[in-house]
Amino acid sequence: MSTSERPRKRGRQAEAARNDQLVLAAAREVFTTQGADAPVAAIAERAGVGIATLYRRYGTKEELIQKLAVLAAEQYAAAASRALDADDPWEGLAQYIRECVAFGSFSLAPIAGTIAFTPEMAAAGERSDELAEQVVARAHQAGVLRADATTLDIHLVVEQFGRRAPVPTDEDDNNRERLVSLVLDGLKARPENTMLPGNPPTAERYARLWNKP
């Protein structure tokens, strides 16, 4: 390969990487607002790339969604790691919840069951779950998180508030932050806490959700 060919190759690789990031960002936005039935053409249009460019990277819509699921788990794992680095266990937990809600990726939950669950998704999810358990256990040990709140309760909170409206408004972020603050206040350990109603959520729920028929 000549020296003139190498820069061109590196340039193409850089362009491909940029396009991939554009596609992933557009896909997350489209799928979380329009659902799994959203057309791939809408993703390409939002990303500003051609459909052929998208399909060169992801052969099917399912492959694209699977990649988004892995990236979401990696985001949560990174957020949990930052939470564990926080000096204050409560502030770490609150930071973790706020970051995960801000990602918006848990609004991929409605897509569960529509795609095959890959080993890569399983590995990323296990790592994310392990770190989240550590964040919650640390808050429990410090006595700052109510004793009957579980990691899966935290996941459900993030899932609910991570959803995005099909047509976002300027008030959405403000309203979401207010409601998350209300929930965080309810999660704090206090002598006057009453027991939460019903039974805690189980891991089997998530297993059923992601089990493609």
Domain co-membership, 115 together with 23: no
Q: Are residues 104 and 165 in the same domain?
A: yes
108 and 188 part of one domain: yes
Q: Are residues 201 and 144 in the same domain?
A: yes
Instruction: Give yes or no: residues 73 and 54 share one domain.
Output: no
Burial class, 127, CB count within 10 angstroms (exposed 0-12 / middle 13-18 / buried 19+)? middle
User: Does one domain contain both 39 and 95?
Assistant: no
The CA–CA distances, whole Å, from 154 to 3, 135, 151 equal: 54, 11, 5
- Written as tens digits, the pLDDT of the chain (213 aa) is 555 555 554 677 777 788 889 999 898 888 877 777 889 999 999 999 999 989 988 999 899 989 988 999 999 999 999 999 999 999 999 999 999 998 876 566 667 777 888 999 999 999 999 999 999 999 999 999 999 999 999 998 998 887 776 666 778 888 889 999 999 999 999 999 999 999 998 888 767 767 765
CATH number where 196 lies: 1.10.357.10
Dist CA 24 CA 203 (whole Å): 28
> Which residue range forms the structural domain that includes residue 147?
68-209
pTM of the model: 0.83
Q: How many domains does the chain have?
A: 2
CB 132 within 8 A of CB 70: no
